[in-house]
Structure 1
Amino acid sequence: MIREQVKSAQVEAMKAGDKERLAAVRLILAKIKDRDIELRTASTVPDDDTVVVEVLQKMVKQRRESIEMFKNGGRDELAAKEQAEVEVIESFLPQQMSEDETRAVIDGIKAEVGAASIKDMGRVMAVLKERHGSVIDMSKASGLVKAALG
């Protein structure tokens, strides 16, 4: 389980005295705990790894947006700090599909649901997220689906 990997990484970072990694791991654990609290009132709760992967993907997306803003603002030291956090967060994510693998999966789903135009993008994206959401960057996949249907 990914949650256990994160907890053990926290202990390892403490023992190694790696303050930057420890801070990033603690941020991850805090976000996971926040998500657990949100799910207390949910009627259906997804499995644990799915929840953790969603949290990690959201954190990576936020950091990448921050990196872009910091670079545009000339704050390279802050961008470097965010990049270091991205690397720690991504170390816990499952191996992501390559772009070619993603295109192949999209083509298969497109044929399966009978998608012919951009109007069918929502159906394709829903199936894609349901089956492969943990191993595909959905923001990149959106562009690939649009290109495949366009």
Structure 2
Amino acid sequence: MAYSVKINGKTYNVDVDGDTPLLWVLRDVLGMIGTKFGCGIAQCGACTVHVDGAATRSCVTPVESLNGSAITTIEAIGATAAGAKVQKAWLDREVVQCGYCQSGQIMAAAALLAANPKPTDSDIDDAMSGNICRCGTYGRIREAIKQAAQPATQSKGG
């Protein structure tokens, strides 16, 4: 069956079964491979994307459930204010080790900061608790989120 999905501001028509997970539409049909497959049961967070701004596990989200929702993937998160700040902080804090989980981590962090620009440690824990990092970079992830939550510093001009 044909479905129309809006991903990163562009509308795509895909011919897939309605129960096809969004993850496979992204990766196999559209060639957007930044979103990763981890567990397939929404437990690890590697497949996190935004659906209407909310962090969503694409491995268990059937394409038929999207109904015109706006989907943002790691390929476009840097075009959002929160996403750009998170990506910069990730680089500044050298968060990435193996990198496999990082697209999902970044997507979860960007959704958190878009909804709550000044998260507490508890807010960070709650938002990130479903994202697993086998390399254990949790300390750097927390530092990067805290950095991204800081107001931008204004440069002094002359």
Q: Report the TM-score, using the length of structure 2 for normalisation.
A: 0.25
Q: Report the TM-score, using the length of structure 1 for normalisation.
A: 0.26
Structure with more of its chain in helix, by fraction: 1
Instruction: Say which one has the larger Rg.
Output: 1
Structure with more of its chain in strand, by fraction: 2
